[in-house]
Amino acid sequence: MGKRRDSDPDSEYGEPAPYDPTFNGPINKRGCTDIICCILFMAVILGYMAVGILAWLYGDPRHVLYARNSTGWYCGTGPNKDKPNLFYFDILKCATSINIMATALNGLQCPTTQVCVESCPSTFWAVGLKAFSEEDKAKVFNQSLCVPSINLENTKFTVKQIIDNELCPFFHIPTTPVLGRCLPDVTALEGIPSEFSNVPGLPTSINDTANLIKNGTGTESLVKDILNGFNARDVGVRIFEDFASSWPWILLGLLIAMVVSLLFLLLLRFTAPVLVWVLILGVLGVGAYGIWHCYWEYDNHKQMSASINDIGFTTNFSVYLQVQETWLAFLIIISVVEAILILTLIFLRTRILIAIALIQESSKAVSHIMSALLYPVVTFVLLLICVAYWGATALYLATSGGPIHRVVALNSTTGDCMSINGTVDCDPQNFSSSDYPGCPSARCIFIKYDDESLLQKNLFNLQIYNAVAFLWCVNFVIALGQCTLAGAFASYYWAFNKPDDIPMFPVSGGFIRSLRYHVGSLAFGSLILTLVQIVRILLEYIDHKTREAQNPVARFILCCMKCCLWCLEKFIKFLNRNAYIMIAIYGKNFCVSAKNAFSLLMRNVVRVVVLDKVTDLLLFFGKLLVVGGVGVLSFFFFSGRIPLPGSTFRSETLNYYWMPIITVVFGSYLIALGFFSVYSMCVDTLFLCFLEDLERNDGSLQKPYFMSKNLMKILSKSNKAPKRDKR
C-alpha cells in the first residue's frame, strides 16, 4: 500500500477503493440498475395516469368554479352562460344557517330558493300592500329574478301563491357580486325605506334585520364577517394594478438577484479563504466579547450582598442576573466553549484549508460548466408539472359523481305533495310543475352527488394513491436532478488536463445516463424517502386528531416519535444524495452505491463534518447577501426613497408598495436557492471524488492524482506526471 493514507485501510467501514488504470471519470460501460424497482415505478406511473383519466372522465371542476342554483344548474356556463351570478331569495336565511362560510362558498342548499341572474340587485325592494290585489304579476315581480319554470305573463298563481311557493322573491336588499354570488352590500345598507317595515307576508321586520347585518350584532354578525372577508376581492384588484405597473421593475430586481448569485458563486474562487476566516474569527470575536462582558458583570456585582442561596428558586429569571454567581457560571461556560473552539480550530486547520480549497475548486467547476446553473429550471418545470397534475387529479376526483335531482314541494303538506316529496327522480332540463297539478309548488331540486358508484366508493383510496404517487414523483425528480449534476461535476474532477479533457456536454450526458440506466435506482431511493414522509404525515394527522384527548405522556411520546422521524428523513436525504453521486460515477445499483458512499464518508468523518459546516456557513452567508441586499434595494426603490430620473414609474402610484417588495424578496430567495443548490451539489460531488482520489492514487506516474495543485499543496503531495490545468 506504500505510505499510510489519511484514511485507515483497516477501518471497520470497509476497504479503500482499489486502483483501476482504466478509470478516468463516470464510466460509460454500464447497465440498467434496480430493474425491479424501475418496473414498479413505471407501473405506479401508469396507474397514476389511469387515475387521472378516470378523474377527468367522471370529475366536474365546475362544482368548485361556478355557483349552482336550486336545481343544480351552474351559473355562468351552459344555458346560464349570460347569468354568472347566484341570487338568494332570502339571504337572511343563509345568515342564520349553522355554517355561514360553507353556505356562502360551497353549499348551494342554503334554506332558500336560488336562481342565476345576469346582475345582482343593487336597490331596496319589497312586495307592497297593493301588490296582493294586482292582476298583472309581471308588474309586481321581476321575471329575471324568478325561477325559470314560471312565466309571469300567463301564470295562474296569485301573488300570495308565488310568494308562498318561493317562485319569486318577496324582497331584496342591495347586493354585490362576490365570487359569483350576490351577497349583501354592507356599505349600501343605509337609508332603508320606511315602507320596508311591517309589510304583510314578510317573516320579520326587514328594517330591523338589515340593521342587524349593518351593525354586525347578533347571529347575523357572521354575515358581516364573511362580507369583510370577501372585500379581499377589492384588495386583489389593487394588488393586480400594482403588479401591472411595477412588473418591469420586479423583473429587474429578480435579474439583479440572479447576477448577484452568479457573481457570488464565481467569486468564491478568490474570496472563499477570506470569507471563511472572517466568519470564523467573527464567531471567536463574539465569544471573546461574551467573556469580557461576563467578567465585567461579575466584577460589578461583587459589592452586592445577595447570593444565589438568598434568592432560592423563583420564576422571575431577571432576579438571577443580579447575582454574582450567575455571571460567574456564564463566564465559565463561555470560556470553555471558546477554548473548545480555539482548540478545534488549531487541530482542524488543515481540514478547514481542504474545505476552502474544495469550495474554490467548485467555483472553477461551475465556471467551466455554466450550463449546470440552468438545470434548476428543468427541475422546477418538472416539479411544476407534478404539482399541477396532482392538484388537477385531486380536484377532478373530489368533484366526481353525477348530480341527483328529485321532485320537492316547498311550503305544502297536502297528501299529493307528501307522496312525491323527495322520492321521485327528475330531470331539471325537462321538468314542468304542470306535470304535478295537485302540487303547484313542486320543483326539480338538486339533492346530492352520486356516492354509490364504484368510483365513489373507492374515492378515498384513489386520493391516497394520488398523494403517494405525487410524493414519489417529486422525490424522483429531485433525485434525477442530483444524479445529473453529480455526473456532470464528476466528469470535471476526473478530467486529468482541465478543461481539455472535460466532455463536450457534461450535463446532457449525465441526464441521459441517469434516464437510460438508473431510473430504477433513483426510484428506489425516492421510494424509501417517500415511505418515511408518509409515516411522518400519518403521525402528524394522528397528533392533530387526538390532541384534545392527549395527556402529557402521550404528547411526549408523539413528540419523540416526530423528532426521530424528522432525523431519519434528514439522514435518508443525506445518504440518498451521496448514493446518487456514486451511481452517477460508477453506475452501480442503489444499495451498493449507498453502502460505498457511507463507508467512504465514515472513513473520513472529520473531513465530512468540517466541509459540511464550512459550506453551510458560506451558502447561508451568500443567501443572506442576495436576499437581504436585493430586498433592501427593492424597499428603497418601491417606497420612493431612490427615485430614478427620467423614469415614468412613481411609488406614489402603488396601492401597496410592500407587495412588489415581497415578490422580489421571495423570487430572490428562490433564485438564490436554485443557484446555490447546484453549487452545493458540486461541492459534495467533488468532495467524494477527492476522497476516492486519495484512496485510489498516490501521485506516481502510474497512479497520478486528479486533484488540483492547491489541494495537493495543502496535503503536501505532488504528481510525478505533469498536469496542464488551464485555469
C-alpha closest to that of 266 among 715, 584, 727, 710: 727
Give helix then strand counts, H and E, for the chain.
Answer: 23, 8
Query: From CA 520, how far away is CA 378, in angstroms rounded?
Result: 20
State residue 619's pLDDT score: 79
Cβ(407)–Cβ(432) below 8 Å: no
Q: How far is residue 279 from each of residues 262, 285, 287, 621, measured CA to CA in Å? A: 21, 10, 13, 9
Beta strands in 72-139 (DSSP E): 85-88, 114-117, 125-126
Top-confidence range, 415-429, 479-493, 632-646: 479-493
Question: Does residue 48 have a pLDDT over 70?
Answer: yes
The string of DSSP codes covering 575-627 is HHHHHHHHHHHH---HHHHHHHHHHHHHTTHHHHHHHHHHHHHHHHHHHHHHH
> How remote is the C-alpha of 578 from its chain's centroid?
26
- Which cell numbers hold the place of 587? 453506475
User: Are the C-beta atoms of residues 625 and 369 closer than 8 Å to each other?
Assistant: no
Task: Count CB atoms within 10 A of the CB of residue 391.
Answer: 12
pLDDT band of residue 582 (cuts 50, 70, 90) is: very high
594-613: string of b/e by CB count within 10 Å (b at 16+)? bbbbbbbbebbeebbebbbe
What is the residue whose three cell numbers read 319589497?
126
Distance CA 4, CA 620 (A): 36
* Amino acid code (one letter) for 573: K
Q: Tell me the pLDDT band of 437, cut-offs 50, 70 and 90.
A: low
| Residues near 60 by beta carbon (within 8 Å), at least 6 away in sequence | 396, 399, 400
Sign of CA dihedral 410, 412, 414, 418: positive
Q: How many CA atoms lie within 13 A of 37 on its CB side?
A: 20
For the CA atoms of 172, 174, 177, 182, the dihedral, rounded to the nearest 10 degrees, stands at: -20
Strands (E), 410-531: 442-449
Residue 174 pLDDT more than 90?
no
DSSP helix/strand/coil, 688: helix
Mean pLDDT for the stretch of residues 378-386: 90
Dump pLDDT digits (tens) for 52-106. 998 888 877 777 677 778 777 788 887 888 888 888 887 666 654 433 333 333 3
What pairing do the DSSP bridges indicate for beta strands 171-172 and 175-178?
Answer: unpaired
Mean pLDDT, residues 353-363: 83
Read off the C-alpha cell for 532. Answer: 418515511
- pLDDT for position 9: 43
Give the residue carrying C-alpha cell 320537492: 408
Report whether 594 contacts 34 (CB < 8 A): no
* Grid cell in block for residue 110: 342554503
Going from the C-alpha of 518 to that of each of 30, 221, 654, the distances in angstroms are 10, 60, 51
Confidence of residue 440 (pLDDT cuts 50, 70, 90): low
Kindly report, residue by residue over 289-307, the tens digit of the pLDDT. Answer: 888 988 888 777 666 655 5
Angstrom distance (rounded) from CA 113 to CA 6: 82
pTM value is 0.75
| Total count of residues recorded for the chain | 727
CA pair distance 642, 644, nearest whole angstrom: 6
Question: Is 313's pLDDT higher than 80?
Answer: no
Question: SS3 helix, strand, coil % of the chain, rounded to 5?
Answer: 65, 5, 30
Q: What is the pLDDT of residue 249?
A: 81
- For 145-167, write each residue's pLDDT tens digit: 888 878 887 777 777 777 777 78
Yes or no: say if 355 and 711 are a contact pair by the CB < 8 Å rule. Answer: no
Provide the sign of the torsion angle of the four alpha carbons 670, 673, 678, 681, taken in this order. Answer: negative
Given a contact cutoff of 8 angstroms between Cβ atoms, the answer to whether 178 and 226 are in contact is: no
At 414, list the grid cell.
Answer: 297536502
> What is the spatial distance between Cα 449 and Cα 681, in angstroms, rounded to a whole number?
50
The whole-angstrom separation of Cα 94 and Cα 660 is: 38
Give the model's pLDDT for residue 722. 61
Digit-coded pLDDT (tens) for 253-275: 888 888 888 888 888 778 778 87
Tell whether the model's pLDDT for residue 180 goes beyond 90: no
Cα–Cα distances (Å) from 505 to 32, 89, 621, 725, in that order, read 22, 68, 31, 19
- Cα–Cα distance between 562 and 541 in angstroms, integer? 11
Q: How far apart are CA 290 and CA 75, in angstroms?
A: 68
Residues 55 and 400 sit within 8 Å (Cβ to Cβ) = yes
What's the average model confidence in pLDDT over 478-494? 92
As given in the structure block, the three cell numbers for residue 319 are: 432576579
Distance CA(365)–CA(363), nearest Å, equals: 5
Phi, psi (rounded to 5 degrees) for 403: -75, 145
- Look at 620 and 529; give whichever has higher pLDDT: 529
Distances from the Cα of 461 to the Cα of 45, 56, 455, 456, 466, angstroms: 16, 17, 10, 10, 9
Residues forming beta bridges with residue 397, ordered by sequence position:
none
Give yes or no for a contact between 259 and 679, defined as CB atoms under 8 angstroms apart.
no
- pLDDT > 90 in the chain, percent: 17
Which of residues 216 and 52 earns the better pLDDT score? 52
**Rg of the chain over all Cα atoms, to the nearest angstrom:** 36
Cell of 281: 474569527
- DSSP single-letter state for residue 74: B
Pairwise CA distance, residues 589 & 692, whole Å: 18
